[in-house]
Amino acid sequence: MKYDSKRLMKFATDLFEKAGMPTLEAEISARSLVEADMRGVGSHGLMRLRTYAKRITTGVVKAGVKPSVVRDKPASLLVDGKNGMGCVVALDVMQLCMKRAEETGACFAAVYNGNHFGIASLFTVAAAEAGFIGLALSNATASVVPYGGAVPKLGANPLSVAIPSGRRRPLVLDMATSVVAQGKIIQANKEGRTIPEGWAVDAQGQPTTDPAAALKGSMLPFGGPKGYAIGLIIQILCSALCGANSDPAIPSFWNNFEDPQNLGFFLGAIKIDGFATPEQYGGRIDALMDGIKACPPAPGVAEVLLPGELEFRNQDLAEKQGIELSDPIAGDLRALAGEYGVDGGVFG
Ligand X SMILES: NC(=O)c1ccc[n+]([C@@H]2O[C@H](COP(=O)([O-])OP(=O)(O)OC[C@H]3O[C@@H](n4cnc5c(N)ncnc54)[C@H](O)[C@@H]3O)[C@@H](O)[C@H]2O)c1
Residues that bind ligand X (CB under 6 A): 41, 43-44, 116-121, 138, 140, 156, 158, 160, 172-176, 180-181, 184, 305, 307-308, 310-311
Q: Nearest distance from residue 37's CB to ligand X, in Å?
A: 11
8 Å CB contact between 42 and 187: yes
Closest CB 188 distance from ligand X, rounded Å:
12
Smallest distance from the beta carbon of 308 to ligand X, in angstroms?
A: 5
Shortest Cβ 342–ligand X spacing (Å): 25
The residue (of 213 and 305) whose beta carbon lies closer to ligand X is 305
Phi-psi category of residue 334: left, alpha or beta, with phi > 0 → left and psi -120 to 50 → alpha: alpha
Question: Bridge-partner residues for 79, per DSSP?
Answer: 69, 111
Q: Which is nearer to ligand X, 3 or 312 (CB)?
A: 312
Element containing residue 158 per DSSP (H, E)? none
Q: Provide the Cα torsion 132, 111, 82, 239; round to 10°.
A: 160
Rounding to the nearest 10 degrees, give the CA dihedral for residues 302, 306, 311, 314. Answer: -40
Measure the CA–CA gap between 301 and 253, rounded to whole angstroms: 38
Pairing of strands 76-80, 218-219: unpaired
Cβ(182)–Cβ(143) below 8 Å: yes
Least distance (Å) from ligand X to the CB of residue 19?
19
Q: Are strands 132-138 and 106-114 parallel, antiparallel or unpaired?
A: unpaired
